[in-house]
Amino acid sequence: MNVLGIESSCDETSVAVISDDKLTANLISSQDFHSKYGGVVPELSSRAHLQIVIPLLKDALAKSNLELKDIDIICATAGPGLIGALLVGLTFAKGLAYSLNKKFIAVNHIEGHIFSGFLMEEKPEFPFLALVVSGGHTLLLLVKDFMNIKKLGSTVDDAAGEAFDKVSKMLGLGYPGGPKIQQFALRGNEDKINFPVADLRNSFNFSFSGLKTSVLRYIQKNFSGEKIPENDLNDIAASFQKAVVKALIKNAEKALSEFEVKSICLVGGVAANKSLRNAVIILGERFNKKVVIPGMEFCGDNAAMIAFRGQKLFENGITSSLDASPFPGLSDDIFS
């Protein structure tokens, strides 16, 4: 079976092909397509997705030695994300499915992330605990099987990745914040400053807004308006990173004590952070659980995870009608 996946929920456009359970292409626009396909396209626009989706599709098919007619099912992200961006990928996929008379499957982007560990050679075992951390989302979920997901907690304000970006901006380190903070943190003392970790009692929810504000306070108090010396930058980055990791691990640990699982999956863009990866690996060792963390190309937004999730839905008898609409947000009662 040949599965086509299309992802356009936010900044990246991505097209992937899974052919007989093997990933044969996973092309992502942020790689070097902007230069390849002519001119500078705005980072944040539906037009950028429009310009890039067809070239990506052609390349993905060529890379897989397939033609459009060989595709059996077509999967696209329906949400959550930016409505204009989602519309491009979703409408394109529906048009393809209609014209080729193939099955169409609308995929939830978060479910794509949740199962992205299955794109690795070492796969998660059910039931597993999934920690989804990205620029837009922070969720802790209990995954019993492909059709059974239960949300334990999510952020009540900022996402973990957003906290990285904003603190990076406060420190003048630039965007994207994750890699910058990680780089400076490597040379810093993570125990130098004790930034608070939000304690939302009796829940698995997260909060990163207070942490962000306390970093700002620290900077204002100690360096009001002045340039922050390099040593201090390193220490602030390291101490902040430690606080984020601690907050994430704390709830994961609580979940492991309460629920019986076989493995732990760390997924989403922030799963690229080495300190967090290490902390999850150590947590897995302590609780004697298998840990699966996708490789870098499957951490950020990608269509491989959309194709994989779509195929699993199809195998469980789920397809979508061609009037499926995009949805911008996760409703409060999803995964309940």
Partner 1 sequence: MNFPFTKKVFTEDDTINLAGEFVNYISSGDVIVLNGNLGAGKTFFIKHTLKIFGVNNVTSPTFAIVNEYSGKFKVFHFDFYRVNNVSELFDIGINDYFNDDSVVIFIEWGNLIPVILPKKRFEVNITLNDDLSRDFNFIKYE
Residues that bind partner 1 (CB under 8 A): 10, 42-48, 80-85, 134-136, 155-159, 161-162, 165-166, 169-170, 209, 212-213, 216-217, 220-221, 224, 328-332
Closer residue to partner 1 in complex, CB, 17/52: 52
Q: Contact 100/4 with Cβ under 8 angstroms?
A: no
Closer residue to partner 1 in complex, CB, 33/314: 33
What span, in angstroms and rounded, lies between the C-alpha atoms of 196 and 242? 10
Work out the end-to-end distance of the chain between its first and last CA atoms, rounded to an integer number of angstroms.
32
Those residues whose C-beta lies under 8 Å from the C-beta of residue 320, and which sit 6 or more positions away, are 78, 104, 105, 106
Closer residue to partner 1 in complex, CB, 43/230: 43
Closer residue to partner 1 in complex, CB, 43/258: 43
Of the candidates 152, 126, 57, the residue with the CA atom closest to the CA atom of residue 95: 57
Q: In angstroms, what is the minimal distance from the CB of 84 to partner 1? A: 5
Closer residue to partner 1 in complex, CB, 45/319: 45
Closer residue to partner 1 in complex, CB, 162/232: 162
Both tokens of residue 312?
Answer: 């699993």
Give residue for tokens 């060792």.
285
Q: In angstroms, what is the minimal distance from the CB of 333 to partner 1? A: 9
Q: In angstroms, what is the minimal distance from the CB of 158 to partner 1? A: 5
DSSP 225: T
Between the CA of residue 318 and those of 150, 303, 325, what are the distances in Å? Answer: 19, 19, 16
Phi-psi region of 38 (alpha: psi -120 to 50; beta: other; left: phi over 0): left
Closer residue to partner 1 in complex, CB, 84/179: 84
Closer residue to partner 1 in complex, CB, 229/328: 328
DSSP 119: G
Give the number of residues written for the chain. 336
What span, in angstroms and rounded, lies between the C-alpha atoms of 30 and 43? 9
Q: In angstroms, what is the minimal distance from the CB of 284 to partner 1? A: 28
Q: In angstroms, what is the minimal distance from the CB of 136 to partner 1? A: 4
Q: In angstroms, what is the minimal distance from the CB of 240 to partner 1? A: 13
Q: In angstroms, what is the minimal distance from the CB of 216 to partner 1? A: 4
Closer residue to partner 1 in complex, CB, 150/187: 150
What span, in angstroms and rounded, lies between the C-alpha atoms of 15 and 54? 9
In SS3 terms, 137-151 reads as CEEEEEEEECCEEEE
226 three-class SS: coil
Q: In angstroms, what is the minimal distance from the CB of 322 to partner 1? A: 22
Q: What does 14-43 look like in DSSP terms, one character per residue? A: EEEEEETTEEEEEEETTTTHHHHTSS---S
Between the CA of residue 71 and those of 61, 94, 319, what are the distances in Å? Answer: 9, 13, 15
Q: In angstroms, what is the minimal distance from the CB of 335 to partner 1? A: 13
